[in-house]
């Protein structure tokens, strides 16, 4: 892939780059490189073609309107890597004490959201064209499965689901109405670069049609940004003043912003839960207390949460702010912990947080793939129709029987030797059907046969984690 980046540079600049250096990785799986020579560019190697194509389209669309985004200057034939203009190394996050620069960022945002929406082909957005009710439910379930469940916080499934659906429906209506436009989705100070004293927006591959207030909430309530309530009020006023110059501010703007702050906070906690509590990445765990502080302030002031229909959500959140964010991956001393995961090979084999670097990786791709059939595509290996599809062929029972034999032998050996950690991974094409079924059954098998061990089950691509 490095040769491909060099070839792209030569196609663009006419000569080979003098130097190619990796940049510090961010939270995503994309890899970034700085290529220097007569011209300077940033090379990007992605893991998802559709995501890359969305960024490339959005960059070109926004650049055509002279908006402050990097320009894509070269793209590989398979769209798996591309070059973009280099905006330097200074992120706004390191300049948050520069009041004028922060205000300029909030003034620039409405133009991107409003002018950027003009002429947009929403079908080019990734992974969906809009922050509709279904997309909102994904985020809320992310919070449920990756934060509430790992911390074993009890809730009423039907009541919490109803609260989520009310929020999801209301959010979709905002995005379709006068409060909607181009929502950048992950608009935060780390995704704003400072070049020549001006803000430039990056990492907008998840942009889509949605509520404008979501980006404001994402920026001003970013856990580590540390804005005071007074600073937020002032900066919201700066934003709305700039928005007014382009279109009227919705009459219920305060309510819209209140709801988006709640949604963004829950989405962030889901992300911190998955990256920190499940994957064991310390800097995400370190951000949880700030996010909980934002949530506590919401509980004290949010009019949205005062809605009686959201009573179960409010009750659960009151428990959340009082619960220490302990890591689910913290093993019980002297006790064997088996971590069972489903995953997509396209996104790499799961890392072993214990540091041992061993365990099993089973490839499920030799079996017939339910994902090839339209009726099963939206389902997972936990759904009855997919389970029936897999079991009717008899392949998966034979496959798992062999897997059980291998893993059981390892567990017996590990128990006799006092080992404390074992990884068992099941991969398939999308990490949605065959691997999910296999990991679920392996985890249940191990817990039933060995009640003395801890079993942590993670469906990585579904962002679901549980301790059996």
CATH number, domain of 33, equals: 3.30.200.20
Residue 199 main-chain phi, psi, to 5 deg: -80, 140
* Residue 109 shares a structural domain with residue 241: yes
* Residue 345 shares a structural domain with residue 458: yes
Of 79 and 351, the structure prediction assigns the larger pLDDT to: 79
* Residue 154 shares a structural domain with residue 115: yes
Range of the domain at 428: 337-467
pLDDT, residue 26, reads 64
* Residue 47 shares a structural domain with residue 114: no
**Which residues have C-beta within 8 Å of that of residue 308, sequence separation ≥ 6?**
none
In a domain, 326, yes or no: no
Say whether pLDDT at 388 is over 90.
yes
Q: What is the Cα–Cα distance from 261 to 294, expressed in whole angstroms?
A: 9
* Residue 403 shares a structural domain with residue 309: no
Q: Compute the mean pLDDT over every residue in the chain, rounded to the nearest whole number.
A: 91
Q: What is the average per-residue pLDDT within 302-319?
A: 95
Cα distance from N-terminal residue to C-terminal residue, the chain:
40
DSSP letter for each residue of 63-109: HTTT-SSPPEEEE-TTSSEEEEE---S-BGGGGTT-HHHHHHHHHHH
In a domain, 332, yes or no: no
* Residue 364 shares a structural domain with residue 291: no
In a domain, 171, yes or no: yes
Could you read off the pLDDT of 114-164 as tens digits, one per residue? 999 999 999 999 999 999 999 999 999 999 988 998 888 899 999 999 999
In a domain, 348, yes or no: yes
**pLDDT band at 1, cuts 50/70/90?**
very low
pLDDT, residue 468, reads 79
* Residue 152 shares a structural domain with residue 289: yes
* Residue 424 shares a structural domain with residue 458: yes
Tell me which of 320, 350, 366 is where a domain ends.
320
pTM: 0.75
In a domain, 327, yes or no: no
* Residue 115 shares a structural domain with residue 220: yes
Of 452 and 357, the structure prediction assigns the larger pLDDT to: 452
E strand or H helix that includes residue 21? strand 19-22
In a domain, 249, yes or no: yes
Could you read off the pLDDT of 208-248 as tens digits, one per residue? 999 999 999 999 999 888 898 999 999 999 999 999 999 99
Tell me which of 85, 100, 116 is where a domain ends.
85
Neighbours of 22 (CB within 10 A): 12
Percent of the chain with pLDDT over 70: 94
Could you read off the pLDDT of 239-261 as tens digits, one per residue? 999 999 999 999 999 999 999 99
Say whether pLDDT at 328 is over 80.
no
Q: Tokens 């689901």 belong to which residue?
A: 161
Q: What is the average per-residue pLDDT within 437-454?
A: 94
In a domain, 242, yes or no: yes
* Domains contained in the chain, number: 3
* Residue 253 shares a structural domain with residue 228: yes
* Residue 67 shares a structural domain with residue 107: no
In a domain, 325, yes or no: no
Maximal CA-CA distance, the chain:
72
* Residue 54 shares a structural domain with residue 10: yes
């Amino acid at each position: 892939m490095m040769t491909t980046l060099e070839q792209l540079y030569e196609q663009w600049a006419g000569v080979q780059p003098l130097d190619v250096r990796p940049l510090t990785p961010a939270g995503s799986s994309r890899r970034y490189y700085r290529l220097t020579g007569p011209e300077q560019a940033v090379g990007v190697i992605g893991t998802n073609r559709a995501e890359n194509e969305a960024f490339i389209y959005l960059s070109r669309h926004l650049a055509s309107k002279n908006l402050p985004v990097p320009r894509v200057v070269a793209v590989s034939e398979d769209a798996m890597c591309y070059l973009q203009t280099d905006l330097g190394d200074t992120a706004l996050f390191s300049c948050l004490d520069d009041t004028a620069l922060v205000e300029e960022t909030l003034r620039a945002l409405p133009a991107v959201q409003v002018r950027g929406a003009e002429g947009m082909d929403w079908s080019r957005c990734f992974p969906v064209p809009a922050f509709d009710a279904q997309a909102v439910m994904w985020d809320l379930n992310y919070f449920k499965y990756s934060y509430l469940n790992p911390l074993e916080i009890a809730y009423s499934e039907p009541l919490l689901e109803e609260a989520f659906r009310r929020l999801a429906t209301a959010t979709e209506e905002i995005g379709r109405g006068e409060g909607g436009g181009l929502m950048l989705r992950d608009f935060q100070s780390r995704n704003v670069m400072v070049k020549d004293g001006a803000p430039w927006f990056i990492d907008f591959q998840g942009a889509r049609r949605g509520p404008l207030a979501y980006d404001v909430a994402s920026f001003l309530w970013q856990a580590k940004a540390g804005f005071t309530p007074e600073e937020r009020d002032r900066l919201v006023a700066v934003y709305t003043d700039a928005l007014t110059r382009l279109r009227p501010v919705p009459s219920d703007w305060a309510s819209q912003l209140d709801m988006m702050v709640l949604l963004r906070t829950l989405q962030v906690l889901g992300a911190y839960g998955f990256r920190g509590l499940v994957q064991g990445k310390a800097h995400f765990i370190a951000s949880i207390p700030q996010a909980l502080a934002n949530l506590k302030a919401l509980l004290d002031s949010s009019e949205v949460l005062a809605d009686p229909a959201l009573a179960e959500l409010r009750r659960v959140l009151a428990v959340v702010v009082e619960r220490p964010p302990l890591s689910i991956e913290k093993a019980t001393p002297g006790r064997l912990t088996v971590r069972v995961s489903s995953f997509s090979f396209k996104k790499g084999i799961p890392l072993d947080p214990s540091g041992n670097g061993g365990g099993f990786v089973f490839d499920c791709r030799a079996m017939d793939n339910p994902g090839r059939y339209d009726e099963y595509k939206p389902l997972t290996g936990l759904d009855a129709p997919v389970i029936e599809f897999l079991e009717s062929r008899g392949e998966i029972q034979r496959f798992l029987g062999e897997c059980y034999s291998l893993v059981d032998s390892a567990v017996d050996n590990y128990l006799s030797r006092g080992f404390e950690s074992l990884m068992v991974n099941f991969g398939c094409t999308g990490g949605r059907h065959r691997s999910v079924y296999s990991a679920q059954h392996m985890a249940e098998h191990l817990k039933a046969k060995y009640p003395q061990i801890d079993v942590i089950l993670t469906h990585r691509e579904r962002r679901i984690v549980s301790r059996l």
